[in-house]
Amino acid sequence: MSTPPRQKRLTPADILALKGNCPVVSLTAYTTPMARLLDPHCDFLLVGDSLGMVLYGMDTTVGVTMEMMIAHGQAVMRGVSRACVIIDMPFGSYQESKEQAFRSAARIMKETGCDGVKLEGGAEMAETVAFLVERGIPVLGHVGLMPQQVNTSGGYRSKGHSEKEADKIRRDARAIDEAGAFAIVIEGTVEPLARDISGSVSAATIGIGASPACDGQILVSDDMLGLFNDFKPRFVKHYAELAQVISKAAEDYAGEVRTRAFPGPEHTFQPRPKS
């Protein structure tokens, strides 16, 4: 009996080829079980450094380490069979030099088997992006609101309201596009500007708090699933309210444990009958 052919996962080139044809679907994933659930529905999964805030309770993404990104990247890779997987390069792992960026990106790809890396930055990172792409590392860019720069950019606020700021974001996107990024995340950027950028670059644009005209969209999965009732940015839509479901399940469990209703006989192991 012949073995069925193994399904081929999507590549960065496949993501780029969707530009102008079909909107790209993307979500974040940090664990194997979540990756398995999201994989059939997404074109690419991002192992985002947002895991620092979502999983570890950090205030920003700045404290995320290479070891954290690699560990979660390995976990996600164990759960995918279809989606392209991109892993964020954490703060401090690529800004020093293009050589440092290559060493970090190569380590991530070798130790996880992922399909590419993401880094934040505009014109100042264009040389680094080109350096990586020329050496076989697919790059997902990131312009607009850049969480790793929160300490110098005045916090988490939407970008592009002034012409000066909008012009910078346009130049940043153009520089990253010309450097060879296969796609560019546009985050927290006023809608007309994000729409304009999407129509002017050859890379696929992935919006988050940007424009429906972007070539695709991404959300943090935990936001999309309604796991954080106390925090809902304007650009997030809850497709479920799992925080309430989990809280109610924990309440029911606690009640049954305290009244000794759980575990019942069906949940325990009884001695085998003696022969």
The binding site comprises 49-50, 88, 118, 120
The helix (H) or strand (E) run that includes residue 73 is: helix 66-77
The single-letter DSSP state of residue 117 is E
- Asked if residue 172 lies in contact with residue 201, where contact means CB atoms within 8 angstroms, the answer is no
Q: How many CB atoms lie within 10 A of CB 255?
A: 11
Query: What is the C-alpha to C-alpha distance for residues 143 and 153, in angstroms, rounded to an integer?
Result: 13
The helix (H) or strand (E) run that includes residue 129 is: helix 126-134
Rg of the chain, C-alpha, whole Å: 21
Binding residues for Mg(2+): 49, 88, 120
187 annotated active-site: yes
Binding residues for 3-methyl-2-oxobutanoate: 49-50, 88, 118
Print burial letters for 134-147: b (CB count within 10 Å at least 16), e (below 16). Answer: eeebbbbbbbbbbb
- Asked if residue 178 lies in contact with residue 161, where contact means CB atoms within 8 angstroms, the answer is no
**Is residue 172 left, alpha or beta, with left meaning phi > 0 and alpha meaning psi from -120 to 50?**
alpha
Q: Considering all CA atoms of the chain, what is the largest pairwise distance in Å, rounded to the nearest integer?
A: 86
- Asked if residue 101 lies in contact with residue 128, where contact means CB atoms within 8 angstroms, the answer is yes
Out of 124, 178, 187, 266, the active site residue is 187
Q: How many CB atoms lie within 10 A of CB 269?
A: 5
Helix, coil or strand: residue 89: coil
| Cα–Cα separations (whole angstroms), residue 72 to 8, 42, 170 | 22, 18, 32
Q: Which pair of structure tokens corresponds to residue 237?
A: 């839509």
Q: Which of the residues are catalytic?
A: 187
